[in-house]
Amino acid sequence: MNLKKFFLTSIAMGAALLMAGCGGSGEGDAKSGSGGGSGGGDASGSGGGDVSAGPSGSNEVKGVIAYTPQTLSNPFFSVIGDHLRAEAEKNGYEVLMVDPDYDVKKQSEQMDDFIVKDVTAIVLVPCDRIAVGPAVKQANDAGIPVFTVDSKCAAEGAKIEGHVGTDNFQGGELAGQAMIDALGDAGGKVLVLDLKRANSCVLRVDGFKKVINAHNEGRTSGIIDIVAELDGNGDNTKGYQSTADALQAHEDLDAIFAINDPSALGAYAAVEEANRQDHIKIIAFDGMPEGKQAIKKGQIFAEPIQHPDKMGRQIVQLIMKYQAGEDFTQETLIPATLYTKADADQDPDLK
Q: How far is the CB of 335 from another protein (least distance, A)?
A: 26
Shortest CB 270 distance to another protein, Å: 24
Name the helix (H) or strand (E) containing 63: strand 63-68
* C-beta closer to another protein: residue 145 or 287: 145
The answer to whether 111 and 138 are in contact (CB under 8 A) is: yes
C-beta of 9 vs 213, nearer to another protein: 9
What's the maximum distance between 2 C-alpha atoms anywhere in the chain?
Answer: 85
155-176: string of b/e by CB count within 10 Å (b at 16+)? beebebbbbbbbbbbbbbbbbb
The end-to-end CA distance of the chain, in Å, is 61
The Cα–Cα gap between 246 and 230 comes to 8
Yes or no: say if 293 and 267 are a contact pair by the CB < 8 Å rule: no
| Residue 124 Cβ vs another protein, minimum distance, rounded to whole Å | 15
Task: Decide whether 14 or 335 has the Cβ nearer to another protein.
Answer: 14
Residue 286 DSSP one-character state: B
Q: Which is nearer to another protein, 19 or 214 (CB)?
A: 19
Minimum CB distance to another protein smaller for 102 or for 229: 102
CA 217/CA 101 separation, integer angstroms: 43
- In whole angstroms, what is the distance from residue 82 CA to residue 113 CA? 21
Cβ atoms of 334 and 166 within 8 Å: the answer is yes
Coil vs helix vs strand at 341: helix
Q: Which residues pair with 93 in a beta bridge?
A: 63
Nearer CB in complex with another protein: 50/273: 50
Q: Whole-number minimum distance, CB 83 to another protein, in Å?
A: 18
Nearer to another protein, 199 or 216 (CB): 199
Please state the closest distance from residue 334 (CB atom) to another protein, in A.
24
Cβ proximity to another protein: between 139 and 280 the closer is 139
Helix (H, G, I), strand (E, B) or coil at 130: coil
Handedness of CA 5, 8, 10, 16 (dihedral sign): negative
